[in-house]
């Protein structure tokens, strides 16, 4: 197709919503990029972009063309990559969205090992609690935890981590140690938002108990810190608190019981992922499934 290169340039402009950023990414002058897109529009016979001095927006035709052309461009790039050395030794920039606490408290050493194995890859990490848009934002993959919403994206299960109950020795000494799940209702429990009960499992037995506490928050890292500082009982993945357990800052309570496992997913827009993304997902899966 004569216009495949121009199609690839259009995809870059549509993703960046900026001629300047797209030109930098493509390594061509801004004026050349603008001319090539104009020629593409003339060849198609439809305007693909609304241009103003402040921003660029896709027209209705542009949205349809972007959705279809992006897949074509991805397939073409993947075909070239699979035929080259990049499949054996991937390179390029890997852009990943990661959950903040899980990345900093647990994933960082795993990612360091991956970086050492693949020196040709450079990294751009976005640590944020928000759900990035893999269709319109320039991410190769997003790592997500917990239940996923229906989105039409490709989600691969790469790990599961069981959760247990922990508290500091000082909290247990001051408040007593729960002997059964029902006792948790009388304790300070550090909870996630919109969580009013914990579900626990023991040898095929399931218990659901209402929990409450002074602290409700959406940060695993801060929940861990509050538990270390004697503010209550927390349900956390064991890997997150391994150092605290070893140092005696936390201890497990209700040791025969565990919370429901947390699923970890690698989410991509398409199954047609480049080698750098494939290797990253495979590496994380191998390490997390062992945990």
Label residue 86 by pLDDT band (50, 70, 90). Answer: low
Q: Give the single-character DSSP code of 123.
A: E
Query: Cα separations (Å) of 244 from 197, 227, 247?
Result: 25, 10, 5
Mean pLDDT rounded to a whole number for the chain: 88
Exposure letters 129-155 (e unless 16+ CB within 10 A, then b): eeebebeeeebbbbbbbeeeeeeebbe
User: What domains can be seen in the chain, in order of their start residue?
Assistant: 4-83 (1.10.10.10), 89-156+266-290 (3.40.190.10), 161-262 (3.40.190.290)
Angle at 25 between CA 22 and CA 27, to 5 degrees: 105
pTM over 0.85: no
CB-based contact 101:192 (threshold 8 Å): no
CB-based contact 254:53 (threshold 8 Å): no
**Kind and range of the H or E run holding 7:** helix 4-16
Which among 224, 191, 282 is positioned nearest to 105, based on CA atoms? Answer: 224
Strands (E) in the chain, as ranges, are: 49-51, 56-58, 92-98, 121-127, 141-145, 154-167, 189-190, 197-202, 205-210, 233-237, 251-253, 258-268
5-63 pLDDT per residue, tens: 888 888 888 888 888 888 888 888 888 888 888 888 888 888 888 887 677 888 898 88
Q: Position of tokens 């640590």? A: 127
What is the per-residue DSSP string for 160-218?
Answer: EEEEEEEE-HHHHHHH---SSGGGGGGSBEEB-TT--EEEEEETTEEEEEE-B-S-B-S
CB-based contact 19:13 (threshold 8 Å): yes
The predicted pLDDT at position 132 comes to 75
Q: Give the single-character DSSP code of 26.
A: H
137-174 pLDDT per residue, tens: 788 999 988 877 767 788 999 998 889 999 999 999 99
């Amino acid at each position: 197709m004569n216009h495949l290169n121009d199609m690839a340039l259009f995809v870059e402009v549509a993703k960046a919503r900026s001629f300047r950023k797209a030109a930098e990414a493509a390594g061509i002058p801004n004026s050349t990029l603008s001319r090539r897109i104009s020629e593409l529009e003339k060849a198609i016979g439809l305007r693909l972009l609304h241009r103003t001095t402040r921003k660029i927006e896709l027209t209705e035709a542009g949205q349809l063309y972007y959705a279809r052309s992006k897949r074509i461009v991805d397939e073409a790039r993947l075909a070239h990559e699979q035929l080259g050395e990049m499949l054996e030794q991937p390179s390029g920039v890997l852009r990943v969205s990661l959950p903040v606490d899980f990345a900093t408290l647990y994933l960082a050493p795993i990612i360091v090992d991956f970086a050492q194995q693949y020196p040709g890859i450079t990294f751009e990490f976005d640590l944020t609690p928000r759900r990035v848009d893999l269709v319109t934002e320039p991410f190769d993959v997003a790592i997500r935890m917990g239940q996923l919403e229906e989105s039409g994206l490709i989600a691969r299960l790469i790990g599961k981590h069981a959760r247990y109950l922990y508290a500091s020795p000082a909290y247990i000494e001051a408040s007593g140690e729960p002997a059964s799940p029902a006792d948790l209702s009388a304790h300070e429990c550090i909870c996630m938002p919109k969580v009013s009960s914990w579900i626990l499992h023991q040898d095929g037995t399931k218990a659901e108990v209402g929990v409450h506490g002074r602290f409700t928050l959406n940060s695993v890292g801060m929940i861990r810190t509050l538990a270390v500082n004697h503010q209550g009982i927390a349900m956390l993945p064991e890997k997150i608190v391994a150092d605290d357990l070893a140092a005696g800052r936390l201890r497990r309570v209700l040791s025969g019981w565990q919370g429901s496992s947390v699923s970890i997913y690698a989410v991509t827009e398409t199954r047609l992922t480049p080698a750098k993304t494939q290797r990253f997902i495979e590496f994380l899966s191998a390490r997390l499934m062992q945990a």
